């Protein structure tokens, strides 16, 4: 069974640009969550989607957005990038409210 | 603010010893508890989940949950150098659907 797949693995963007990250969950998992990990703040919850609906959102500015497609694949978008957005972005999929499995992450560097 | 706290570490143990990792949480309504292992530069990997009071064993790992005292712990028996990683405690608090993570404990197993 394939795991959670995130693309791309690495990104370098310039301040002010926007970026879109993609996540394909484990087959059969309908819940996809996104997290930001930085050395200073640790793992922080961004948002969670289930059946194409955002069910929960963390405390991040509106520049961070996401969506989920009918096949459960999800994308997150960050607009007007800031240096502080440099982080490892992690996607996790789960079946219901059980165990969550993470993808390999996308390492975003904003310069 | 609902929090998950872990002993900050770093924690060093000799090879073959028992490593003990602790975590406390603030929300008494929490029902689901997880331990993740994260190697440097990698994404978190789920190693244990526990939902009811008591012990749960899986190989060399034992998770312990005490809801009355609001703590969850992870014991690693016969620690190996390959166990050297950061261990993250995660909790689904109350009716939330997202994982709230502790800051992690860095474990080093010395050969």
Chain B residues with CB-CB distance to A under 8 A? 32, 34, 36, 42-46, 49, 88, 90, 92, 96-104
Q: Which residue has the tokens 């990104």?
A: A11
Partners of A54 in beta bridges = A49
* Interface test with chain B among A92, A103, A105, by most B beta carbons within 10 Å: A92
Of B88, B92, B96, the CB nearest to A43: B88
Q: What is the pLDDT of residue B8?
A: 73
Low-confidence spans in chain B with pLDDT less than 70: 1-2
Share of chain A above pLDDT 90, in %: 91
Going by C-beta distance under 8 Å and a sequence separation of 6 or more, which residues neighbour residue A13? A19, A81, A108, A109, A110, A111
Q: Which CA distances in Å does B32 have to A3, A22, B25, B94?
A: 22, 27, 11, 9
Mutate to test the interface with B, among A7, A32, A43 (most CBs of B within 10 A): A43
Query: What confidence score (pLDDT) does residue B43 get?
Result: 97
Residues 6+ apart with CB under 8 A from A64: A46, A47, A76, A77, A78
* Nearest CB partner across the interface for A55, out of B42, B97, B103: B97
Token pair 């394909």 in the structure block, residue: A24
Q: What residue in B sits closest to A103 (Cα-Cα)?
A: B43
Tell me how close the Cα of B29 comes to any Cα of chain A, in angstroms.
15
For strands B99-101 and B11-14, give the pairing. unpaired
List of chain A residues with pLDDT < 70: 1, 97
The CA distance from B2 to A109, in Å, is 30
- pLDDT score of B98: 82
Phi, psi of B48 (to 5 degrees): -150, 145
């Amino acid at each position: 069974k394939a795991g959670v797949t995130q693309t791309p693995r690495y990104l370098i963007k310039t301040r002010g640009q926007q970026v879109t990250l993609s996540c394909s969950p484990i087959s059969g998992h309908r819940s996809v969550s996104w997290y930001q990990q930085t050395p200073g703040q640790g793992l922080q919850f961004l948002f969670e989607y289930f059946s194409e609906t955002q069910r929960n959102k963390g405390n991040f500015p509106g520049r961070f957005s996401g969506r989920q497609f009918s096949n459960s694949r999800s994308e997150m978008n960050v607009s007007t990038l800031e240096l502080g957005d440099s982080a490892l972005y992690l996607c996790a999929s789960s079946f219901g409210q059980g165990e969550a499995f993470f993808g390999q992450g996308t390492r975003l560097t904003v310069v | 603010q609902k929090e998950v706290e872990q002993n900050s570490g770093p924690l060093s143990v000799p090879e073959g010893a028992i490593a003990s990792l602790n975590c406390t949480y603030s929300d008494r309504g929490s029902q689901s508890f997880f331990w993740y292992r994260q190697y440097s530069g990698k994404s978190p990997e789920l190693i244990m989940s526990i939902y009811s009071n008591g012990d749960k064993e899986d190989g060399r790992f034992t998770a312990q949950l005490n809801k009355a005292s609001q703590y969850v712990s992870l014991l690693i028996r016969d620690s190996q150098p390959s166990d050297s990683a950061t261990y993250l405690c995660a909790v689904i608090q109350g009716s939330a659907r997202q994982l709230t993570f502790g800051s992690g404990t860095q474990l080093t197993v010395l050969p």
